[in-house]
Structure 1
Amino acid sequence: MKWIRKIAGMQSSILGINERNLGFIYPNNARKNYKYADDKYLTKNILHSHQIACPLTYAMIDAIGKIEQAWQATCEWNELVIKPSKGAGGKGIMILKKKNDQWFSQSKPVSEQDIFTHIANIIFGIYSFGDSDVALIEEYIRPHDIFYQIFPEGVPDIRVILLKGVPLMGMLRMPTSRSDGKANLHQGGLGIGIDMKTGRLKEAYDGEKHITCHPDTKHPITGLTLPHWDEIIRMSLKAAMKFPLHYLGVDLVIDQRKGPMVMELNVRPGLGIQLANREGLKDAIYRAKQENLLN
């Protein structure tokens, strides 16, 4: 809500919720196609079919009776991510790391029974607005060293908002101790604006004010340049072209071994990206039209 109140008090170049919905989401995205972004399993199937890099899926669990067998087939890895296929806002994501045959989540030990219960809750729809869901067990992303230097916990991601195949605005979402290692803004993560031409990081917005350093490590943020930026833009464009959605957010990560990967799509990308960039989406759209990139 802080983001919404802040946006409401800014100049007319800021795109508001109603205008975003009525002017961009509804005209550009048929309701029947929302599922391709809302269901991560469907998203990944399309990404795989078009050879667009994304985290590997080790298991898909759609029934309680399949939990133990799927777990035994995947627990050979020492790092895993469990998430709901239809979850939103980072809810229901469990990051697991194994040390000396003991599993840990957010540095706290967890038993196999704890893990099975979490998977069952995903299937029951606890994190998906009460609808039954599918639990995904995925490859763990090891963030690029530039992110580890800024804050060594969690997995930062990059959101690129596109309209009709034109990248309008980008933002790096960075975890903090307040966000419990999650990158989501409403959970306390940072929104960091990105220069779309160079990949250079602008100031970070912490939900209340703009800052130039990470609040926990005090590591400088402003002025750093994201690695693989040209590839990130190309990958976001390719992903947007393969889905029947013409206004969307493409969320990407940078793995230290594999480079950029598409994590998921968002058919209702949030408005906080404007605060992170100190610029309204209306201005970005106007600029794209002036450059003859949009009709």
Structure 2
Amino acid sequence: MIKRWLEQYASPFALGKMGIMGMNRRNISYISRYNPRRLYPLVDNKLKTKEIALNAGVTVPDLIGVIEFQHQVSHLWEMVKDWPGFCIKPAKGSGGKGIVVIVNHDRQSFVKPSGKAETIGDLERHVSNILAGLFSLGGKPDVALIEALINFDDVFDGFSYEGVPDTRVIVFKGFPVMAMMRLSTDASDGKANLHQGAVGVGLDINTGRAIRAVQFNLPIRYHPDTGRDLLELKVPYWEQLLSLSSSCYEMSGLGYIGTDMVLDKQKGPMLLELNARPGLAIQTANGAGLVPRLRKIERLGKKITLTPEERVAFSRKEFASEVES
């Protein structure tokens, strides 16, 4: 995505001047330097992430069940029959691959957000594919998580199409440095995946207000399916959401992470997952580069004793949209 932006909008010199971070710098200067490899399993496996989050007192979606072995696949119906909606996802999947969302069922037809219906046999085959590693990192055998649906806040009505909007915050050494909201579309099949056609909305780190929106790497103003003005978007409970993202630094031990969160109508901000190798498209959504912000944090020194709340206050002041550096 950054490459496409380079080809369409700017020369390498201009991108460097904007502080845009590329893949090599991200991998060498930040991921390999600040993320100990021994901790990767904590975030590469959604079940382990859920466990460390619960131990840290962080709210996560309810876990209905786990299917680890093929002989358990036939138990799927017993797991989900009393849940009006649910989500099936691979524990080690990435980029939204292998996730199936069911919004309602009549015990025979299981309806996806698009309106397409699946049978229990279809869902069992999907779970078998998850176990075989079809969607996992490196194609390794996996386990399937069945989670309760998120009842997303009405404040986002019209901003997302057939899917739950989520907020990605890049956290460096415990400081939230850049944020965006990912909104599903018809093109993305109800998933908040920018590569599949979801909309990315850059957010002011100080207020949670929209500052820019893109789809397929191109600036847009209105949601392609609902027509909603994307620049009207403002994320409520913003300070609480930033504090949650900041606390993931202590929770995971990783210095450079992407935190994916949602806003549930009853439970408020909750953590979906963590990413030890967050993508770079957040820069496109914000129209700003990560490098100046990361360098500002590095200049604070190696030993930082601030609390998550103090780190959030620092970021809101230093990285507000009107205070670009």
TM-score normalised by the chain length of structure 2: 0.86
Are 1:7 and 1:16, in contact at CA under 8 Å, matched by a contact in 2? Answer: no
Q: Which residue of 2 aligns with 1:236?
A: 245
- Counterpart amino acid of 1:46? I
1:289 Cα offset (Å) = 5.5
Q: Separation in 1 of the partners of 2:224 and 2:214?
A: 11
Equivalent of residue 170 in structure 1, options 153, 172, 179: 179
In structure 2, the residue corresponding to 1:11 is in which secondary structure? helix
Q: How many residues are matched?
A: 293
Are 2:174 and 2:248, in contact at CA under 8 Å, matched by a contact in 1? Answer: no
Structure 1 segment 182-197 matched on structure 2, within 5 A: 182-197=191-206
Q: Which residue of 2 aligns with 1:98?
A: 104
Aligned Cα RMSD in Å?
1.7
Deviates more, 1:87-96 or 1:280-289: 280-289
1:286 Cα offset (Å) = 3.8
**Stretches of 4+ aligned residues off by more than 6 angstroms:** none
1:184/1:55 CA distance change after superposition, 3 Å: same
1:210 Cα offset (Å) = 1.1
**1:120 and 2:119 correspond:** no
Are 1:14 and 1:280, in contact at CA under 8 Å, matched by a contact in 2? Answer: yes
Structure 1 segment 246-261 matched on structure 2, within 5 A: 246-261=255-270
**1:85 and 2:85 correspond:** no
1:5 Cα offset (Å) = 2.6
Q: Which residue of 1 aligns with 2:3?
A: 4
Unaligned runs of 5+ in 1: none
Q: Separation in 1 of the partners of 2:196 and 2:252?
A: 29
Q: Separation in 2 of the partners of 1:286 and 1:204?
A: 25
Residue deviations 1:96-136 (CA, integer Å, cap 9, x gap): 13243331123111111101100010001010132000000
- Counterpart amino acid of 2:167? I
In structure 2, the residue corresponding to 1:222 is in which secondary structure? helix
**1:158 and 2:162 correspond:** no
Q: Separation in 1 of the partners of 2:54 and 2:119?
A: 32
1:167/1:294 CA distance change after superposition, 3 Å: farther
1:162 Cα offset (Å) = 0.9
Identical aligned pairs, as a percentage? 38
Residue deviations 1:38-85 (CA, integer Å, cap 9, x gap): 100110000011110010111111101012224303321010000000
Are 2:86 and 2:146, in contact at CA under 8 Å, matched by a contact in 1? Answer: yes
1:4/1:198 CA distance change after superposition, 3 Å: same
Unaligned runs of 5+ in 2: 304-325
Q: Separation in 2 of the partners of 1:5 and 1:293?
A: 35
Q: Which residue of 1 aligns with 2:318?
A: none
Q: Separation in 1 of the partners of 2:160 and 2:290?
A: 28
Are 1:247 and 1:267, in contact at CA under 8 Å, matched by a contact in 2? Answer: yes
Deviates more, 1:79-88 or 1:68-77: 68-77
In structure 2, the residue corresponding to 1:81 is in which secondary structure? strand
1:31 Cα offset (Å) = 1.4
Are 1:3 and 1:207, in contact at CA under 8 Å, matched by a contact in 2? Answer: no
Are 1:83 and 1:92, in contact at CA under 8 Å, matched by a contact in 2? Answer: yes
Q: Separation in 2 of the partners of 1:208 and 1:238?
A: 30
Q: Separation in 2 of the partners of 1:98 and 1:250?
A: 28
- Counterpart amino acid of 1:37? V
Q: Which residue of 2 aligns with 1:137?
A: 146
Q: Separation in 1 of the partners of 2:3 and 2:62?
A: 35
